[in-house]
Structure 1
Amino acid sequence: MSAEDKEAQEDELLALASIYDEDEFKRAESAQGGETRICLELPQNFKVFVSGELKYFVAGGSAFEYSVCFLPPLVLNFELPPDYPSTSPPAFTLSGKWLSQAQLSALCKHLDNVWEENRGCVVLFAWMQFLKEETLSYLNISSPYELKMCHQETGQSRAPLVPVDAGKDCGATGSAAADGEIMDERAVQDVESLSSLIREILDFDQAQRRKCFNSKMYLCNICFCEKLGSDCMHFAECSHVYCKACLKDYFEIQIRDGQVHCLNCPEPKCSSVATPGQVKELVGEQLFARYDRLLLQSSLDLMADVVNCPRAGCQTPVMQEPGCTMGICSRCNYAFCTVCKMTYHGVSPCKVTAEKLMALRNEYLEADDTTKRFLEQRYGKRVIQKALEEMESKEWLEKNSKSCPCCGTHIEKLDGCNKMTCTGCMQYFCWLCMGSLSRVNPYRHFNDPSSPCFNRLFQAMHVDGEFWDAED
């Protein structure tokens, strides 16, 4: 590496680190390279949508449409060769979740063209500015932006999400790629399925909106103080903003009085209601448990077919159709299973985690008859029975067995000496100290005076129905 190239590389990397924050640019520790995460500047009211093909995410094949302010970033990973920028360009890969591989290939081609036009000069900043400011226009992407599943050739593990206008007016390479020619191997479409992409888009948009909200100043109309958004809370339906300290006092008074349906926006004549997630964030665990219990009871009394949207930032009440396990949020259009609260999975069985089974078992055992019937209706008697049986099995194993120190297999000792053999991996181990024993001479552990189990091979062994201790 020449001195000029080394100096140019260091200057460029230092400049990028000073221009962008850590979320946008990270320099590699072991090589001359790094990673940039580029969030595009979207026009106002930019919408993404899918048609009725995604039958398990939207109801009855109807279209899904959502307005977003942010889309998941494009990720540019690069490494600077020793002769950059005098001779060679940076080696890079470009990945994205919501662009097809054809579109990403077109962007890669354009980055190559930018290098050719500026050969001998540093280009990373020019690349990043192009991706940030011109990607949408270069690929001819406009609102509403349709995501559509596309069949791939045999041997490819992921199906790309191809917008309707993929490859149109986006350069020769983009058009060729859309026509089925070889894609640029540097273009990586980092997405598994259309449903997971939509979920990631919604969650990323929500997180970025929250980040912007937290960084701005707002006037609380209760205490009339200006505070950062991170110290405030806004009601989604009306967008009124109040500081968390004032809302906390307001909510706590209402919950103590049992007025769980009166946690409305304090603005006069405003009917916006705080979500359970907002209430939980402000009040203590004991008060929230009271709020949750009263709200659940009143909801069961009035509308037994109401569930909350499981998305943490939504929690909107959702009507459940009789005999149907699919709920569709009217606010965020998220379709979910009302049993397991995951993305709707049709007739496939729910996947309940071990932690959920444990919590469900404890809740069921402590519940009264009314709550037990509700839990059985909500999760099914089969799931409840499975939770009870698995917990009983776990408790029995903890009381009556020990785990092999090598593979973890549960071993029960019925009789015999304290030299044990694992039925899973055939490892010898000591039942007293649970240490692994030699394969050649396992009894040396009990014959060695320096061993903690010296002369204890038959300790605590059953003899004619009684315990016999070697020390007796």
Structure 2
Amino acid sequence: MADDAPEDGREEELDTLNSIYPELTRNLDNPLAAHIDLDVAPLKSIPVIFEPEQTVYKLSHLPSLHLELILPEGYPTERPPMVKLTTTPPWLPDTVLERLRKEAQEMWDEYGDMPMLFSYISQLQEAAETAFGLADSSDGPVKLASPLKTSMLDFNTRTKRETFEKETFDCGVCLEPKKGAVCYRLDHCSHVFCVACLQDFYNNCIKEGDVNNVKCLAPECGKTGNVALDRGKKPRLISPKELLQIPLTLENVQRFAELKRKKKIEADPSIAFCPRSWCQGAMRTEKYPKITDVSQMDESDSEDEEKAADVLPDAEAIESGIAKRPMGHKGMDRLVICEDCNLAFCRTCLASWHGDFVACQSRVASELTEDDQASLNYILKHTSPCPECSVPCQKAFGCNHMTCFQCKTHFCYLCGSWLPPDNPYGHFNDKKRKACYQRLMDMAEGDEGAGGGDFGGRRGAEHLADFYEQEALRLQMEEDARGEGAR
């Protein structure tokens, strides 16, 4: 019976470990052997490169450390436990595995004849929080062999998703607690919303053409708290590739990408449009390439992040149809090609290409069609331009505090002044602003319903010019009538 006592003690220690770590697996052939997989999820992501590549990947989950234990006869009084450590795939260096194995021997020496397996496993789990020292290395990214790349990246992605799905989150839109399995974490800012809310909001924005609102739904996302800095900071839009991951339908994501490109082209004064009335496509340019595959469009750009240089075509443009020469280059800078119908035309006079040595003049307002001129007159008379992006805005009803649909800038509808988002109504209570003082609710029934109003800024100047033009016309007509009467 005395010979069995050590063995009973060993089995008792493994039983205790099994109650603490249910994932510990006992060996059916050897009751004194067991194994366990320890998760490796560092507190901060580990930068990794897969040589010979130099691309740095941030990994937050690494393949688990497999620990095999055998308690030999004489443990714990006479002999240490037999420990074997491995990883699959073999990403941990042999030197690190050997160091961890020796720590079991050192701990056994320290504990004397006391059980030490729980302390050893706890020490390994603690070390896993720094990827066993790799996260604390000052030697730069961890270098791993190229064949490990696919399995390591797949493991990281899969484990992140599995961990996320088990958690519970409060959706910032519907304010209900939801399991991660029905939620989505945005790549750039890590804000979490339920998939249903994201789909409803983004699909509605795309349907209505409000592509600038396809962004994170957290009100303070990207804000610094500094009004001056936040004013010029445009929202970071969700990339088409990420919209497909939420998921949105391919048709809607395609529409989003096309609308976003269309808005950029129309807002760029350097872009010329085809003079053919049945076409009117934009000129070809590398700045706004045609969309081919939205699943590969992973940029999350905002309007102020566009850094591509404006370009115009060179002599090769007739064949390639792609603008290559920087704007301002002498010679062929007037030649552009329609991206839809391939017409080569002059960007200055909008006529079919007449050669580089033919003088031409810009198309002026007097050359506008009757419909174009009528549209322009209506816009000048019945809209106020946004002070930030100059998009014409018209008030249907309500107060004179306006928010631009295009860029979300707050401004005064009467004078066109920019208003601070944190206190936009102070503008209408400032006695120094006589033109707008106490006029918050002027024309509350809408621009056209009020029958006109007293405006300032650019719109006021347009109205004043129109008044003097009409007055001059009236005086001329009266003078002509007097002349007729004298005869």
Query: Structures share a fold, TM > 0.5?
Result: no
| TM-score, normalised relative to structure 2 | 0.42
Highest RCO, 1 vs 2 (Cα 8 Å, sep ≥ 6): 1
TM-score by length of 1: 0.43
Which of the two has higher C-alpha Rg? 2
